[in-house]
Structure 1
Amino acid sequence: MLWRSSFLTAVVPLCFASPIFPRWDDLEVKHAWSSVPRNWISVGLPPNGTTIDLRIALKPHREDALVGALYEVSDPAHEKYGAHLSKEEVATLVAPHPDTVELVHAWLGHHGVPASSIRPSYNGGWLTITSLPASQADALLGASYQVYRHTETDETLLRTVEYSLPVDLHAHVALVAPTTYFGGPRALHRTSRLTPTAKHLLAGALDDPPESPTTVSSSCAGMIVPSCLQALYNTGSYTPTATDQNTLGITGYLQENASQADLTLFLSKLMPDAATADFTVVSVAGGTNDQNNPTLEASLDIQYAESLAFPTPTIFYTTGGSPPFQADENTPANTNEPYLDWLDFILAQSDIPQTISTSYGDDEQTVPPDYAQTVCSLFAQLGAQGVSVLFSSGDTGVGDDCVSNDGLNTPMFLPNFPATCPYITAVGGTTGVNPETAAGLSSGGFSNYFARPSYQDTAVSNFISGLGTQFSGLYNASGRGFPDISAQAENFIIVIGQEPFLAEGTSCAAPTVSAIVSLLNDYLISQGKSPLGFLNPLLYSTGAAGLNDITSGSNPGCNTDGFSAVEGWDPVTGLGTPDFGKLQAIVG
């Protein structure tokens, strides 16, 4: 099967012959916003002595080699299916040409950047410069770094609204960060929210939950507990056995804290056989996990991942570098990039969980295209190594604040990133039982940055044909469609601070599907087979028969009814919800 590049931007041939006399003062804009992103205001230049850590993404020698290899090992019809790459093999595929490295080092040397402050990262495809004076970063990038404050959250960032590179470097450098990625009030936002419900009713549900993991109780229509999901998605009769090899990873940002005491109470009430479960905490970039301050997102993710995948070992990655940010005289603003901090860490590891769930995202248009494309390629590195990476699709239907941010205010649906990255699996939301229907909050649509990947050509084309001219001009019909799959996303009982709450959002769906994928990986590993890795080529081919098609409901937004769930793929529930038993038979 042939696969095509997933970026809308044209592939620029790399010119590897270094210019004999490069002109470092001949600058060309790499990315610029038309104005300061909405809700951000400049509060002035950073104080003298302010430093910043810069990351420079170098373009690989063979630009399509990584994606080509990813699809080979992920396509069930390919002879290399399941033959995932080692960390070293991936590093070879993403390695820049020696001319690129030489030219970039010459540029840095011209601007007085000491070699001792430069280190390679991300399998050698990036250079990280530590403690660079902000004034020197300005000169290096033709930029104007300033301290920006968000008018609603008071978060501060050290950013520039524009940066440039010498013309001779554009064919060699994919991205410099942090530069123009501001994020916003929903940057890495939690895709779940508490529902006002009388706590005494929830307490009663905790004390008298549905017992059968094989029969869907009528109570599941209004309140979800782990046994509801086991019955809905046919996992109740499976017990993991490859627990010495298979691991499930959960990522956390925004100072989210997962409580072991809350997990124990949750499981003792709802899954007593799993009440001994615990999780490992791994700190990334100064991330913490305060046991005295449990929070919604981490509680939801850990409690449902653990309950469905038990006794599979679970790792909670807590990543720092996100608001609230405490300034000091040398670091007046947040200069970190949480996605990049976590990816830098995880790609350096020799042992990575086979399944990783993330419940955060941004409006795609708030993420600079070069940033989105380069970060997406890093997720492709994980997929090539046999890691299934899943993201919640978001909770805003087809969007809110539905205009472009390019100064033209063009009406448009707003897709979410990283859900639009073609190398991850995006998880939408459903609600109700017998039958399940689309949850109105389930974000879905079409990317404006990434072209439709070939693995979903048929499925997405069928949907667009049926849509006709409805919503014409509000979405990109040639873009990557999302979500890919879905699961329950409303009325989840969770425990926070030893008290019960109800939660909703595709943050409920992502750990649910991730746990089911982890069970599939456990089964494969127990049979001496490779884990699933990047899921989408499987889901859009033979795996579709293992999904429950959702054919009713919609995802309203932007003053419209949104897209409708239909037979086959749709941008509300994707291909449907998982049936573990059927998928087990398909992959086994």
Structure 2
Amino acid sequence: MLCVLVFSLLLNIIHSVFAIPAHLSEPAVKHEWPDIPVGWERHSVPSADHLIDLKIGLKQHRIDELIDTLYEVSDPFHSKYGQHLSRLEVEKLVAPHPSTIEVINTWLHSHGIHHEEAVAWNSAGDWISLRIPLAKVESMLSTKYHTFRHKTTNELAVRTLSYSLPRHLHSHIDIVQPTTMFDRMRKMQVTSHVNPPDDTISDISLVADVTGPAGQNISASCNRTITPTCLMQLYRTEGYVPQAAKRGNRIGINGFLEQFINFADLQTFFKMFRPDAIGANVTVLSVNGGLNDQSIPGVEANLDNQYTVGLTFPTPNIYYTTPGTAPTINDSVTPPQRDEPYIDWLNFVLSHDDMPQVFTTSYGGDEQTFPKDFAIRACNMFAQLGARGASVMFSSGDGGVGAGTCETNDGTNRTIFQPVFPATCPFVTGVGATFNIAPERGIGFSQGGFSVYFPRPSFQNQVVPPFLRKLGKTYAGLFNPAGRAVPDVSAQGEGFQVVVGGKVESVGGTSASSPTFAGIVTLLNDARIARGKPTLGFLNPLLYSIGKPGFTDILLGNNPGCGTPGFNASAGWDAVTGLGTPDFVGLRALVV
């Protein structure tokens, strides 16, 4: 009897010491939308046993230290420039504090979820994944999910307008997904048409050349159609022979939305536009079961890969195919819903010791459609790539200063310019678009502006204020002048000749600009590796300092949207073309 009393007393003491105060365990809202996001409507109530692939992003304990280190190794004036971190060094900085692991496991156990049975942790320990019925998710998040339908596309998504966590978990969890993210990731591509047989590329030997900004000869046909030869002439990579293809230099291309690269089309492209590359290929890596169906050639996938290889051959090109289609409702023949591919891809790449030194992605969505906590967490993962020596390019978008009505989705329905995420993340390089040659002009769809989520980074402090002063009070209230400004740079984005299904299509969009600029960066890395130097890594601090003379300033063009003429291209940085377009010869002299 005495033993029972002592044991009971010990249990009470333990409970009193370790029990979470009631006010801390009460649910508190983590994120909510005031209204159903624009373009969506309630459709139905999903089944309680509908399976959800839940992802929980745990607080990264030393993320501020990682970002400080990123800036040190990316600043060409810092003594640590180029001293990039290893995978293990990065993972130590983003790993959760042990107390976070403890409280998360306790929370999961309280809902009948045991680590060894149902929970998968990524290599850094800052993401956990579990596949559980909707009813359990609703209990864990104190919420109710609905099936929502997109009014234009009829896409269906199981989402909630609000979710909560026990108050004491807010300091341990950054995000839980899928919950309130209604973003419709889209390809950054505005024009695509099949050229008639007599409207393909002319023999450049029969057309008089024009003079480029550095005095170089450029085929006049490049004013109408873009090929690898046009880009090599315009951006002065013609004649450069890559030297580090066998010394580890690589470029990575991201594919989402079931966009597949077609190998037969790639060889046809080589025969037409890069004969010396015939027989070369792209290595395809599958992320979480991503496919590469050769019966469905993708315009986006073919564009990205044909032009990265077209510019960088014989440098190895890696194509990542990641599941991430339009949101779907699972049934007996539909695979599990996978509509948040950024995190899947980032975790995959970051889990490997070895990875390409350059990445290009031609996808994105209006910043406001991403919950801010999601955008920040994904942005910090791009910072991890930069800390490890990778340069990350994203298309800046194809909506000018914003497509459609440009209404806010915070319940006020105000008109505001709409920048695109992830290009607004300060740790990636946003790429806008130009067209024409001698001179190049900013093209109307080139999306540019200012982030609402991310403040202006210090590397932009010298170039953005002069643009704002010239702008004056124009568009006051329509954008955040203190926000991170995009794009950073630009490149050609219209009339790209792409082989799709054996035929040439003319494609435009910042989806063409991003792989083009990424190809130039890959060649710069090649030159640095050949000289025994580290790769460029996170580019922006360098671009906005010693790199500025390596760009051709674009002085013409504007990017209308939201019922306005948009911003104007002008001397110096502008919100249409950024710092301008690359001059490989000039940049190589600055960075090698």
C-alpha separation in 1, matches of 2:367 and 2:74:
26
C-alpha separation in 2, matches of 1:305 and 1:85:
26
Name the counterpart of 1:586: 590
Give unpaired runs (5+ residues) of structure 1: 1-17
C-alpha separation in 2, matches of 1:206 and 1:259:
26
CA 1:294/1:447 → structure 2, altered by over 3 Å: closer, same or farther?
same
Q: Which one-letter code corresponds to 2:154 in the other structure?
A: D
Name the counterpart of 1:15: none
Name the counterpart of 1:112: 112
Q: Which one-letter code corresponds to 1:375 in the other structure?
A: A
Deviation of 1:135 after TM superposition, in Å, equals: 0.8
Decide whether the 8 Å contact of 2:251 with 2:357 is kept in 1.
yes
Match of 1:342 among 340, 345, 361: 345
Greater shift, 116-125 or 378-387, is seen at 116-125
C-alpha separation in 2, matches of 1:105 and 1:551:
57
Greater shift, 28-37 or 382-391, is seen at 28-37
Corresponding position: 1:451 with 2:455: yes
SS at match of 2:120: strand
Decide whether the 8 Å contact of 2:433 with 2:513 is kept in 1.
yes
CA 1:340/1:55 → structure 2, altered by over 3 Å: closer, same or farther?
same
SS at match of 1:148: strand
Q: Which residues of 2 match residues 19-418 of structure 1 at below 5 A?
A: 20-23=19-22, 25-116=25-116, 117-121=118-122, 123-128=124-129, 130-184=130-184, 187=185, 189-196=186-193, 198-203=195-200, 205=202, 215-244=217-246, 245-323=248-326, 325=328, 327-329=330-332, 334-400=337-403, 401-418=405-422
C-alpha separation in 1, matches of 2:589 and 2:208:
26
Name the counterpart of 1:555: 559
CA 1:27/1:113 → structure 2, altered by over 3 Å: closer, same or farther?
same
Decide whether the 8 Å contact of 2:190 with 2:398 is kept in 1.
no
**CA displacement, residues 275-332 of structure 1 (integer Å, 9 cap, x when unaligned):** 2221011111221111121121011101111100000000111111313747314979
Q: Which residues of 2 match residues 485-524 of structure 1 at below 5 A?
A: 485-524=489-528
C-alpha separation in 2, matches of 1:183 and 1:85:
32
**CA displacement, residues 40-81 of structure 1 (integer Å, 9 cap, x when unaligned):** 233333224222121111112234111101101101011110
Decide whether the 8 Å contact of 1:489 with 1:509 is kept in 2.
yes
SS at match of 2:547: helix
SS at match of 2:462: helix
The count of aligned residue pairs is 567
Decide whether the 8 Å contact of 1:206 with 1:269 is kept in 2.
no
TM-score when scaled to structure 2? 0.92
Deviation of 1:582 after TM superposition, in Å, equals: 1.0
**CA displacement, residues 324-381 of structure 1 (integer Å, 9 cap, x when unaligned):** 7473149797254111111121111121110010000000011110110101111110
SS at match of 1:234: coil
Name the counterpart of 2:429: 425
C-alpha separation in 1, matches of 2:294 and 2:206:
26
CA 1:575/1:19 → structure 2, altered by over 3 Å: closer, same or farther?
farther
C-alpha separation in 2, matches of 1:378 and 1:310:
29
Query: Which structure is larger by alpha-carbon Rg, 1 or 2?
Result: 2
Q: Which one-letter code corresponds to 1:159 in the other structure?
A: R
Greater shift, 511-520 or 151-160, is seen at 151-160
Corresponding position: 1:567 with 2:575: no
**CA displacement, residues 224-264 of structure 1 (integer Å, 9 cap, x when unaligned):** 11111001101012111111211111111111111111111
Decide whether the 8 Å contact of 1:157 with 1:335 is kept in 2.
no
SS at match of 1:229: helix
SS at match of 1:60: coil
C-alpha separation in 2, matches of 1:145 and 1:206:
59
C-alpha separation in 1, matches of 2:123 and 2:587:
33
Name the counterpart of 2:10: none
Q: Which one-letter code corresponds to 1:111 in the other structure?
A: H
Greater shift, 374-383 or 130-139, is seen at 130-139
Identity score, percent:
47
C-alpha separation in 2, matches of 1:122 and 1:363:
30
Corresponding position: 1:473 with 2:452: no
SS at match of 1:216: strand
C-alpha separation in 1, matches of 2:203 and 2:253:
24
Q: Which one-letter code corresponds to 1:21 in the other structure?
A: I
Q: Which one-letter code corresponds to 1:137 in the other structure?
A: V
Name the counterpart of 2:11: none
SS at match of 1:266: helix
Deviation of 1:202 after TM superposition, in Å, equals: 3.3
**CA displacement, residues 382-422 of structure 1 (integer Å, 9 cap, x when unaligned):** 00000110000011100022111112110110110001000
SS at match of 1:304: helix
Decide whether the 8 Å contact of 1:428 with 1:509 is kept in 2.
yes
**CA displacement, residues 20-53 of structure 1 (integer Å, 9 cap, x when unaligned):** 5244751111111112222323333322422212
Deviation of 1:103 after TM superposition, in Å, equals: 1.3
- Structural RMSD (CA): 2.0
Deviation of 1:208 after TM superposition, in Å, equals: 7.8
CA 1:54/1:276 → structure 2, altered by over 3 Å: closer, same or farther?
same
C-alpha separation in 2, matches of 1:307 and 1:502:
16
Deviation of 1:205 after TM superposition, in Å, equals: 3.6
Q: Which one-letter code corresponds to 2:470 in the other structure?
A: G
Decide whether the 8 Å contact of 1:51 with 1:330 is kept in 2.
no
Q: Which one-letter code corresponds to 1:127 in the other structure?
A: I
C-alpha separation in 2, matches of 1:166 and 1:34:
21
SS at match of 1:113: coil
Q: Which one-letter code corresponds to 2:189 in the other structure?
A: S
CA 1:291/1:329 → structure 2, altered by over 3 Å: closer, same or farther?
closer
C-alpha separation in 2, matches of 1:340 and 1:196:
32
CA 1:36/1:335 → structure 2, altered by over 3 Å: closer, same or farther?
farther
